[in-house]
Structure formats: structure tokens, C-alpha cells
Amino acid sequence: GPLKPEITITYIAVSAIFFNSGLSLKTEELTSALMHVKLHLFVQIFTLVFFPTAIWLFLQLLSITPINEWLLKGLQTVGCMPPPVSSAVILTKAVGGNEAAAIFNSAFGSFLGIVITPLLLLLFLGSSSSVPFTSIFSQLFMTVVVPLIIGQIVRRYIKDWLERKKPPFGAISSCVLLMIIYTTFCDTFANPNIDLDKFSLIVIVFIIFSVQMSFMFLTFLFSTRSNSSFTPADTVAIIFCSTHKSLTLGIPMLKIVFAGYEHLSLISVPLLIYHPAQILLGSLLVPTIKSWMVSRQKAQKLTRQPKAPVKV
């Protein structure tokens, strides 16, 4: 179509999101985020180990139901995907959480996903095609890392102007993300060979929302334990980064791993539903999570303040 998503989305849109992040993020915050190893391990293990394994166990129960088997396989592909390169960062920023940690885990998870996601797909679903890791890696480097670095460099020269004008970085990223979702939906549902029954589709939508809510609650419980050492801002980044899945990386990976597969469109449907669902659900929860984070931070400040001596 006139939007040319093969160029504007694959290269320009994702690059714009990370250039925007590089421009808006304070360099010292990004540097400090690199050292938060415990948080990064939590996010990556949950996303790339626990998530796909839990979905696989759940699908063993669903396999005896009349739900379309290719949609169920599509649910498994969702579990195998890496963290998103955009939505988790945008929502973490909207809440006021640890944006630097969200950016690091989005970028780092994307690079891990280049190797781990195809292996997980082959493990759980199988495929005879070879995966061109080099081309995916180079594309990710050019669309994620390079724009982020350029954004940080440009920020050094216009830092005063940015702090004075405060451009609407969040709104810009949200608009770009909306375009990504729109073009991907158009690409998939324009396929004349796609055959969906309403029952299976409705059940899959319900399962997707249930999985997201359950996993968000689970990550919240784990990251707020008394011995976790995570701050409220860290918890916000963990909730979004651990439970969100990448559409911009996922669809190209599915097309590569399952190239020429006749049921590729059906397998892609759960991921196409999951992505806008995670943004919709996350957006609805932003005020609640923000309220919790602010109240938790205030409570922590009060407990740290030294008590005034009691006069006798």
C-alpha cells in the first residue's frame, strides 16, 4: 500500500521509537541501569524461560478442546517471543517507572531473542527452514542500537533546549506504535487464505487477556517481596518488560522460521491479538500502577526519615 510498511515500519518506525528514547533518556540513568543485573536476569528468565514453558504446559490441557490447533500453536509462538522494542518502554515511561531499565531490557531481550526465539520455536513447534541469524542481528543493530546511540549523542548538544521545551516524547512514540499495529493487522487479515472460526477466535482473545493479567500479577508479587530489593520504579519496568511480547520482531521471525508454511497466517493471529491487547490493558492499568508506585515511594521515604527525639 501507500504506507510502504516494508520500509516505513521495518526500518523507520522502530528506529524512530529508539531515537526518541535515546533523545529523552538521561545518559546517567541509562548507565546506572546497565549495572542492575538482578533486574535484567529476572526479566529475561521470566520472558524467555518461564513464559514459554508455562504456555506449553497450559496448551497440553487445551489440546483436548475443539479450539483451532493452529491458533493454539500461535499461542505457543507468543510465549517464545522476546520483550518488545517499544510498548514496554512507552508504558513504563507513562507510569514514571524505571525507563532506563525498560530500554535496556527491550534492547538486550531483542538481541537474546535473535538466537533464543528461533530455537524455542524449533523446540516447541519444529521447522525445517534455516534461520539467517546474521541478517536479523544486523537489522536489529541498525534499528535499535544505532538510533538509541544517535539519540544520546544529539541529546548532549541540545540538552538545555530539551529541558526547557520538554517535547511530548511519549505521545510521539505512541503514534508511531499505533502505525506499526495498523499496518501489521492490514497485512495479515488481507490474506484471502485465512480461515478463522468465531468460537476459537473469541476463546483465544479471552485466554490472551487472562494470561496477561495473570502474569502481570505474578511479576508484581515476585518483585514486591520484602527480600527482592527492587524499588517501586523497578517493579513497573518488570511488570511491563516481563509480560509484553514483541510484534515488530515476532512477525518477521515467524515469516523466516515458517517460510512457505500454509498455516502461517493462523499461527500469526494470536501474536497480532496479543500486541494491541497488551497495550490496551497496560494503558488501562497505567493510572492504577502509577498511584500504587507514588504511594509506595512516599511510604518508603517516610520510613527512611529519622525519628525526632521525644522530649521528656
The tens place of each residue's pLDDT in the chain, 312 residues long, gives 555 555 565 567 777 777 776 776 666 666 666 777 888 899 999 999 999 999 999 999 888 888 888 888 889 999 998 887 678 888 888 888 888 888 888 878 877 877 788 788 878 876 545 556 666 667 667 777 788 788 878 888 887 887 777 777 667 766 776 776 676 666 656 666 666 678 888 999 999 999 999 999 999 999 888 787 888 999 999 999 999 988 767 776 776 666 666 677 788 889 888 988 888 898 899 999 999 999 988 887 777 666 555 555
Give pLDDT, residue 193: 60
φ/ψ region of 230 (left if φ > 0, alpha if ψ in -120 to 50, else beta) reads beta
Polymer length in residues for the chain: 312
How far is it, in rounded angstroms, from Cα 272 to Cα 140? 20
How far is it, in rounded angstroms, from Cα 273 to Cα 185? 9
pTM score of the predicted model: 0.73
C-alpha cell at 141: 543493530
Q: Which fold is adopted by the domain 5-294?
A: Na+/H+ antiporter like fold (1.20.1530)
How far is it, in rounded angstroms, from Cα 144 to Cα 148? 6
Other C-beta atoms within 10 Å of 290: how many?
A: 15
How far is it, in rounded angstroms, from Cα 263 to Cα 265? 6
Give pLDDT, residue 128: 46
Q: Please, what sign has the CA dihedral across residues 76, 80, 85, 86?
A: positive
Specify the residue for cell string 535484567.
40
Give the CA-trace dihedral at 87, 92, 98, 103, to 10 degrees: 10
Give pLDDT, residue 66: 86
Write out the DSSP string of 223-269: HTSTTS---HHHHHHHHHHHH---HHHHHHHHHHHTTT-TTHHHHHH
